[in-house]
Structure 1
Amino acid sequence: MEGWGRYPRHESEVLNCRFPEALSGIAASHAGLIARGNGRSYGDAAIGENSTLMCGGLNRMKRFDATDRVLTVEGGVMLSNVLHSLVPRGYFPPVVPGTKFVTIGGMVASDVHGKNHHCHGGFGDHVDELKLVTGSGEILTCSRSQNAELFSATIGGMGLTGIIAEASFRLRPIETGWITQKTTVAENLGEALRALRQSEDATYSVAWIDCLSKGASLGRSLIFAGEHATQDQVGETPKADRFPSPPSAALSLPLDMPGWLLNTASVAAFNELYFRSGIRKSAKPLLVHWDNYFFPLDRILRWNRLYGKRGFIQHQCVVPDADALQVLTSILDRFAQSGKGSFLAVLKRLRGSAGLLSFAAQGYTLALDLPVTQDVLRLLDEIDELVVKAGGRLYLAKDARQSRLTFESGYPRLDAFKELRRATGADRHFNSRLAKRLGI
């Protein structure tokens, strides 16, 4: 088995489940088990130490209270199905990650953050209640008032407290299926950080970074700020449907691309074209389809094949505000000097989070996609040292190779999480390859 990055690869017994009634028996009778949604965590978080439970069959949307806007679903429901069912009815999830091909259970377990974390927090902040299957097979209702410690540990807990059988969360009302996007051009990293701070009043904001730019242009970026468009704004645009149909995937990669395809020259050429295109679009706000704004890479199915059979690593860190400019400058400079350009480099602003192992912290998060090579692995070890020294940490849902020391340095509530695992018996039943590697 492998994650979305296709690195590392491990053997694991595969279990399937289509009915929630079977979860108790599976949980109680297996050790070294982890639940797996759609396999979109990048590394080894969704590969069981011994057994991996495929939860895609637990895909029923159970009820929706339109008055309170609370949706209750089984853990294996795909975000894409929620979007396609409820966006045309005028509702949008409170937080979405960079792909819609994830399960709701996976979103809870990773406490995913989106382009609006700076103002609305992570997905876990909007979850009202969970049904959690424990190692004894008991099904517990968890919320902020009931089994509250277990609830806090499960939000961002990477599936290590039990199996998320069901989740209830609140949606936000929208008037249309369009986003008004304003593009700001930043000529260097300092301007990019300043632009993100200045766009904090926007509901959504994210920066694309040219990670191969050097010198005075180091960290040049495009910042995309967005709002859900109103009916009046859409009405001013000829032939714009209020709730447009989601576009179908334009391309699917049928096989692995050759390893040399993504090299310094090709990434640099792409970055230059993309940056110039962004400059042209910065003249005035645009109406953008919600799917294109939030999930641009989903237009290419199986895009992870771009990196070939060797796979790739997404390195995502968060660095506190105080040292962000200095540390992120050092990181980008090392990548630029090494020529190890990232095909995708994203910068966002985050606030704190409540889950014991939630990733988000006050500061800036930088995500880079990199091919798996020995040079890249050595470079990432150096980057980790910079992150740890600044008081930052790495995102577990993206991690495939950080050291135990790096992990322990970044998560101050780790001991409390481990103690809860021992107290509930979760440590005897739920273990992923990530948990084994990092000593969780």
Structure 2
Amino acid sequence: MEFFIKISQFLLSLSLLIVLHELGHFIPAKLFKTRVEKFYLFFDLKYSLFKKKIGETVYGIGWLPLGGYVKISGMIDESMDTEQMAQAPQPWEFRSKPSWQRLIIMLGGVTVNFILAAVIYIFMAFFYGSSDVDANSVKGGYAVYNPVLQEIGLKDGDKVLSINDYKIEYFSDIRKYILEAETMTIEREGQQQTINFPVDFLGQLSASKKRGLIELRPPFIFDSFQENSINEGVDLRKGDIFKTINGQSAEFFDEVVSILQTLKNQTATATVERDGALISRELQINSEGAFELIVSQSLNDYQDAGYFDIIQKEYDFGESIGVGLDRFVSQISSYWMQLKLIFSPSTGAYKGVGGFMAIFDIFPDTWSWESFWGITAYLSIMLGVLNLLPIPALDGGHVMFLLYEMVSGRKPGDKFMEYAQTVGFFILIALVLFANGNDIFKAFFG
């Protein structure tokens, strides 16, 4: 069932993005009376799952879910229809249109991608508002899950104050800026320290088997007993907050786990806080170093216990526009930064490039419309930015040649465009193979 939910979200998001991207080319093409021969979701290599001709356009669904396309008459694209290009230009063909019209047609796809992302973020702000943890209110610092961060010098309990020149105001800021981190200022035991990140930090992250980074540090708050727990008869109540075990600090989950590993098959004295008072309880520890208790994982419980403040905001529609656009601009900036790092070999960020499996893994295994739309918006930005890269066969490649034509007044020859398209096609194939090869390597050896 979990796989079905993930694959459903993946295919729905991918289909929506592809159809709307291609619609961005289709609509201006029709407005400028340019013939569109095909409009396809997915690729129809050899055969189609569905197709129907309406007017002059064949609409269909291919069997290969690697994208989609519109085939515009008189345009050298991935179809490489050289036979049509050898004939005299016709007034309904792409090549017969003014350069400014062709530019609008080619930019239509990425324009729709960016508009879609902005609209999604605006409506998400309106319907869901925003929820974040006030970084200044965090008690006990953060949990550091990734061994790469631990090797750099971070420890459980460190409080992140800034990354590079960005002051951390909310917990989400850490996730936002850490991938481009060069320095991080932390507070440890009341003292500020600066952690320097290696140049190949992203490469090391990509090679790490653990995917977690820095998370909120969970306190050890009792919820209930496991079935047939060895401590079933002990007087513990839901909401009891652990403070010490045998006199050692045991307020957070990482502290408790560390202590219990040294006390297997023993009995320990735990001090817990209940209604503001401290009480002691004798607890047994099993052979695996566990109390056999279930602890709370509720952020609201953590907030009620005073470990941080959750800032919940709601917006009217006017405010949502500003909030949504701010998030849109921030996400574009973040993705451009990631691309810059990927194309800088010294960072090792290219090792983290993923294909369809990496995108599939982003989706949660439970259905959440909020998560679905947030991921779809980000993928729409990603699709728009990638399509703007000046690689022949991508929209950005066509735009590059059109701008050259508009500036120089000379149109690149058909033969040159055919060769450029072929080179661009092989570049794209190489990138797809590399990205999906990374997925396969991680699946078997990561």
TM norm structure 2 = 0.21
More helix by share: 2
Structure having the higher Rg = 2
TM norm structure 1 = 0.21
